Chain A
């Protein structure tokens, strides 16, 4: 799907379930999606990445359902002639996916509590997860 003799670079991103968020110990996650619209919107993101960065191929998979700490939640892969556009397109896709796809995440804590991210404890700041959280927002469950 991504392999191509014309491509000299492949960049991938994996998002994993982390064991803590905002000071709470996380036991596991539960993802829920409005799949029909999510797939449609995801295809638009991929098409925009291809057009914008001139990469050869791009793909993304997001899991739904219950996930344990350490499991893979989302994957993005991009192949291109050169590494620079592959990195940039990969970054663009994961940012857009987090921002636009109708996917929701419920965290289950070791304390027994649980909550929908961005909907409950963070209800006063609906956009806090809208940019790439890897650096600025430590509660996002990913590692590069």
Chain B
């Protein structure tokens, strides 16, 4: 019995790293919204089912921040160490525990990725981590750090180093292949934030679309052209016509027109998709 207990895996706690300075984003990455929810809330929700208790790692001066104050916190004891400071503080607080460490800038992280990480955990090693699909190196900020990693990690930092990735490269790390190649893409810039939002909300079609528009009759004369290819964030033909009406002196309101998408009559509220061909149809007068 006693040998079984000593081989049992240490309890797993969760730590979401929300103490970064988000310098390139120029905005708190933990507070960025996806579908109306902050990334910190999303990360806490994702990690909670996998751990006995989840904490937010914060800098000492962030503990009163309302976004972070909702959750159990662990404050960094040291400054300017980057993410490793949060892990050191957590290991100091609960030296008996293993830590599922999670960065707060992984908006595409999914539950399946965490499930596989926890299932594939190798408690006899120092850490279990994914192998990056970009460079093959360990991903330290979506990884499980066993209690036995604490001493070598402290020595590593005492030696003046602070890169957790390099630590894992040199340590006894169990490496896994990512089940979802995009799950661990982190975001650092406003552009990356926008593309992550788009990836998360494929049905929210305000992202730019390439649309061709053909003009006939009075609209052709008022637009001064037969057709054009444009990039628009309009979601519907109604929004597109409103956008075009700001550029051209159209005298016909949408109530006078019908609309066709890809050679079929459609509603004004039909969703536009990339590559669609749109025609606004003035009152007809055949015969």
Residues of chain A having any CB pair with chain B under 8 Å:
15, 31-34, 36-37, 40-41, 62, 73-74, 94, 97-106, 116-120, 122-123, 126-127, 129, 133, 140-142
Q: B95 at the A/B interface (Cβ < 8 Å)?
A: no
Contact, CB under 8 Å: A116 / B282: yes
C-alpha gap A122/B285 in the complex (Å): 11
B286 touches A103 (CB 8 A): yes
Q: Are A104 and B287 in contact (CB under 8 A)?
A: no
A104 to chain B, nearest CB (A): 4
Tell me the smallest distance from the CB of A120 to a CB of chain B, in Å.
7
Number of B residues with CB within 8 Å of any CB on chain A: 20
User: What's the least CB distance linking A142 to chain B, in Å?
Assistant: 6
Question: Are A34 and B282 in contact (CB-based, < 8 A)?
Answer: no
User: Across the two chains, which residue of chain B brings its CB closest to A141?
Assistant: B287
* CA distance in complex: A116, B282 (Å): 10
Contact A116-B286, Cβ < 8 Å, known A34-B279, A123-B256: no
C-beta contact mask, B235-269 vs A, less than 8 Å → 1, else 0?
00000000000000001100010001001110000
Residue of A at shortest CB range from B282? A119
B214 in contact (CB, < 8 A): yes
Give 8 new A-B contacts, CB below 8 A, not counting A117-B285, A133-B287.
A34-B281, A99-B284, A101-B286, A102-B260, A102-B281, A120-B251, A140-B287, A141-B287
Chain A nearest CB from B281 CB (Å) reads 5
CB-contact partner of B264 in A37, A62, A120, A127, under 8 A: A37
A-B contact pairs, 5 of them (CB 8 A): A62-B286, A94-B287, A98-B286, A103-B287, A117-B285
Judge whether A103 and B284 touch: CB under 8 Å. Answer: yes
B285/A116 in contact, CB under 8 A? yes
Contact A101 B284 (CB under 8 A): yes
Interface members, chain B 265-285 (any A CB < 8 Å)? 265, 279, 281-285
The answer to whether residues A104 and B284 also contact, given A116-B218, A123-B252, A123-B256 and a CB cut-off of 8 A, is yes
Complexed CA–CA distance, A126 and B282 (Å): 9
Tell whether, in the assembled complex, residue B284 and residue A73 are in contact, meaning their CB atoms are under 8 Å apart: no
